[in-house]
Amino acid sequence: MKRKTIQDIKNLKKSKLPFATLTAYDFNSAQIIDSADIPLILVGDSASMTMYGYDTTIPISMEEMLLVVRAVSRAAKQALVVADMPFLSYQTSIEDTIKNAGTLIKNGGAGAVKLEGGLQVKKHIQTLVDYGIPVLGHVGLTPQSYHQLSGYKIQGKTPEEAQKIISDARAVENAGAFGVVLECIPEILAKEITQQLTIPTIGIGSGNNCDGQIQVFHDIIGLSREKAPKHAQTYDNIYSKIQNIVTQYKSDVENSS
């Protein structure tokens, strides 16, 4: 089976059909997602919450990211695996950006990295692309800036904020990114950016007019005890199903003699 390349992902924009992508953080779920022919799997730094139980994406380390990236890369046979760069693995310097992105590709087995920001990370993206490391951008709500943004809120509601997000998305494209995640921005703004850019936009909480969509795997299957965010598309409550199985198993053992 031929693995998807960044060119395959770029071509999805031309097809005009919306495409679905998902996050994954472990071998089994990555196998399930990969076998559903999802073209891109993001090993998101949302692993900080889903895998390690932190409150935000801020605490996850490179070492913790690397473990989940490796597991997903081993499972994915057809999808492009994109590894998120954790907080402070690229903001600190261009040297750190190259070293840490290189580690996610070389030791993690990912085919690309994702980092948050627009104009302020233009140089970082340009350098990675120059050194042969494909980059997926991420603008709008950037969860690593949780404190600066005063929490998780829709971004780009005023004309000034909207203009800044358009400039950020254009900067990401001009720097050479092969796509950009648009997180939690108004639908009309996401549509405008999608029309302006030549690279695919992948939306989350930004309406249906992006080229593709991304969701957190745990949210769509209802695997977490905590309520999923408002923008999540939740199809089931696997948490309670697993809980019932565990309770059933416990009772079977206790009643077996």
Report the residue number, 179 or 186, with the smaller CB distance to ligand KIV: 179
d(CA 110, CA 108): 6
Burial 207-242 (b: 16+ CB within 10 A, else e): bebbbbbbbbbbbbbbbbeeebeebbebeeeeeeee
Name the residue with tokens 């022919």.
37
Catalytic residue among 183, 192, 226, 254: 183
User: Contact positions toward ligand KIV, by CB under 6 A?
Assistant: 23, 44-46, 84, 181, 183, 204, 214, 216
Q: Closest approach of Cβ 6 to ligand KIV, in Å?
A: 17
Spatial contact of 71 and 25, defined as CB atoms under 8 Å apart: yes
Report the residue number, 173 or 219, with the smaller CB distance to ligand KIV: 219
E-only strand ranges, the chain: 19-23, 40-43, 80-84, 112-114, 135-140, 179-183, 201-204, 212-215
Spatial contact of 126 and 176, defined as CB atoms under 8 Å apart: yes
Q: Active-site residue 183, yes or no?
A: yes
Alpha-carbon torsion (227, 58, 19, 27), positive or negative = negative
Alpha-carbon torsion (47, 49, 53, 59), positive or negative = positive
Residue 229 φ/ψ, nearest 5 degrees: -60, 160
In which region does residue 218 sit, left (phi positive, over 0), alpha (psi from -120 to 50) or beta (all else)?
Answer: alpha
Report the residue number, 133 or 216, with the smaller CB distance to ligand KIV: 216
Q: Closest approach of Cβ 27 to ligand KIV, in Å?
A: 18
Report the residue number, 21 or 103, with the smaller CB distance to ligand KIV: 21
d(CA 169, CA 160): 14
Q: Closest approach of Cβ 75 to ligand KIV, in Å?
A: 17
Report the residue number, 51 or 181, with the smaller CB distance to ligand KIV: 181
Q: Closest approach of Cβ 78 to ligand KIV, in Å?
A: 20
Q: Closest approach of Cβ 159 to ligand KIV, in Å?
A: 25
Residue nearest to ligand KIV (CB): 44
- The catalytic residues are 183
